Structure 1
Amino acid sequence: MKLSFKLYPFSPTSENQKSIGEIVILHGLFGSSKNWVTVAKALSEFGSVYTLDQRNHGDSPHANEHSIKLMSEDLEEFLSDHQIQNPILLGHSMGGLVAMYFDFTHQGVLKTLIVQDIAPRSYPFVYEKEIASMSFPLGGFSSRTDIDTEMAKYLPDTFIRQFLQMSLERLDSGEYRWKLNVSGLNQARRVFDHPFPEVIHSDTRVLFIVGGASEYITKDDLILIEKFFTNVKIKTIPFGGHYIHFTHQKEYLEILNKEVLLNS
């Protein structure tokens, strides 16, 4: 599948600065490349940055099938089409699972793997409220405010509603639509159920950045990470949740600068 993407060209801050290579970013479930604009601009100081829309998200095509394996294959196709070799691959949540799957099945391809707040294991699909908040008909709504009011009946969390609404598009006709393939994602409820191949092992240089208050990473997960990755560092942002690239952006970028970008 040909994925939509946004390119942030290498923009060095000095004449003698050399690129550390291409950086590819994979968003999480219900996200898109739009969630990574600020981070991508910051990282472009070190190399060209590609923010991808994964299948059924953003401006990428919709498909009936949605799995970690297929998204890894989409990534492989993207890297081949754009002749990107040995990239730094950053994945958040669902994107982190895709990034780990790609690394497990393509040893030696990545220069560095960066995984944000997700572990190499199964996860339940616990997004009924999110799906419900995007499943009512949008016909007749004339403003985002009215849509948000209706969404709040299903999803009280304002932060998550605003996050979802980054995928809400107003057409030239004035009507609204979701860029997300809501029905397709709703049917892919086993997407995080045993998503990896049988052999799970990596010697790739890996950095995990996790939120100290996140429900996605447990103490057992930290043990699991060190079991499967032989060359790994784990950095925790205290009090951070699942969206630390947004809520704790300064600390997040400082970790990337210290652990990856300045040492590549």
Structure 2
Amino acid sequence: MKLNFKKTGSGEPLIILHGLFGSADNWFSIAKELEKDYTLYLVDQRNHGDSPQSEDWNYDIMVEDLKELMEDEGLDKAFLMGHSMGGKTVMNFALKYPDMVKKLIVADIAPRYYPVHHQSILEGLISVDLAQIKSRKEADDQLSKHIPEAGIRQFLLKSLGRDKEGGFIWKINLKVINEKIEEVGKALDQDNSFDNPTLFMGGADSKYIQEKDKEDIEKYFPNHHLIYIKNAGHWLHAEQPKAVVDTVRAFLER
């Protein structure tokens, strides 16, 4: 699949993948800082953003999407960074195609299985009557019945777009994501390891990377460094962008 992406900056290539319900736009503020030193590829994964939608959706396929993008761009090797679902994609990619990854950055996700925990978000998104709403405010009001956190609603509403007739649409493939949500939480299941430098970057206030995860991280990524960003939860790049930029730059330059 030919993924949509935004390319900016100059220098060695750094490819960034967003998480579930997100898009390339989530990383614009980070890119504005890193583009001074790197060629940034901000990618919409399939069924998200402006990339094509498909009934096929799992990490094996998303890994091949990323490989196709790199080959199309003539990239033999690149730095890879992924957040949450994107982190799982780049971990799987690094294990399957280690020679194509110079260094790996995984933001607030571990290699293990995660049970489904997005029910309220999915219920909220499905509840929005796209045929009837006249404004983003109305969509927000409908979402608020399921999702009380204003910040999460604003994040989700970034995926609310317009069709050719001017009506509202979800740019995420809500039907497929809802049907196959179990795919997002699947654990890494490979026999090999990735031996190049790897940074696991967790939010100090998040529970996504726990003490129990260190054994799996060591198994798959023996040359890793684990740090936690202070005063940040799961969306650490939105909550502490400067700390994330400084951490990423220090790791890539080391």
TM-score range normalised by the length of the shorter chain: over 0.9
The AA in structure 2 aligned to 1:157 is E
**Partner residue, 2:177:** 185
Of 187-196 and 157-166, deviating more is 187-196
SS at match of 1:60: coil
**Partner residue, 1:117:** 108
Question: How do 1:235-254 residues align onto structure 2 when only pairs under 5 Å count?
Answer: 235-254=227-246
The AA in structure 1 aligned to 2:172 is L
Offset at 1:88? 0.4
**Partner residue, 1:53:** 44
1:163-207: CA deviation from partner (whole Å, max 9, x where unpaired): 010110134534211100001100112213544333141102101
Task: Tell me: CA distance 1:152–1:250, structure 2 relative to 1, closer, same or farther (3 Å).
Answer: same
* CA distance in structure 2 between the aligned counterparts of 1:97 and 1:200, rounded to whole angstroms: 15
User: Sequence identity, in percent?
Assistant: 36
Offset at 1:56? 0.2
The AA in structure 2 aligned to 1:77 is E
SS at match of 2:116: coil
Asked if 1:88 is matched to 2:79, the reply is yes
**Partner residue, 1:7:** 7
Q: Please list every run of 5 or more consecutive structure 2 residues that lacks an aligned counterpart in the other structure.
A: none
Offset at 1:230? 1.7
Contact 1:108 1:204 in 2 (8 A): no
Higher share in helix: 2
The AA in structure 1 aligned to 2:206 is S
Of 172-181 and 107-116, deviating more is 172-181
Contact 2:29 2:241 in 1 (8 A): no
Of 87-96 and 120-129, deviating more is 120-129
Stretches of 4+ aligned residues off by more than 2 angstroms: 170-174, 192-198
**Partner residue, 2:139:** 147
**Partner residue, 1:103:** 94
Question: How do 1:221-240 residues align onto structure 2 when only pairs under 5 Å count?
Answer: 221-240=213-232
**Partner residue, 1:156:** 148
SS at match of 1:111: strand
Asked if 1:63 is matched to 2:54, the reply is yes
TM-score norm. by structure 1 comes to 0.92
Offset at 1:9? 2.8
The AA in structure 2 aligned to 1:121 is R
Aligned length: 253
TM-score norm. by structure 2 comes to 0.95
* CA distance in structure 2 between the aligned counterparts of 1:105 and 1:172, rounded to whole angstroms: 39
Offset at 1:43? 1.1
SS at match of 1:31: coil
Contact 1:129 1:155 in 2 (8 A): yes
Of 170-179 and 75-84, deviating more is 170-179
* CA distance in structure 2 between the aligned counterparts of 1:210 and 1:194, rounded to whole angstroms: 19
Task: Tell me: CA distance 1:62–1:172, structure 2 relative to 1, closer, same or farther (3 Å).
Answer: closer
* CA distance in structure 2 between the aligned counterparts of 1:180 and 1:140, rounded to whole angstroms: 19
Contact 1:117 1:242 in 2 (8 A): yes
SS at match of 1:192: helix
Q: Please list every run of 5 or more consecutive structure 1 residues that lacks an aligned counterpart in the other structure.
A: 11-18
1:222-244: CA deviation from partner (whole Å, max 9, x where unpaired): 33212321211111112321111
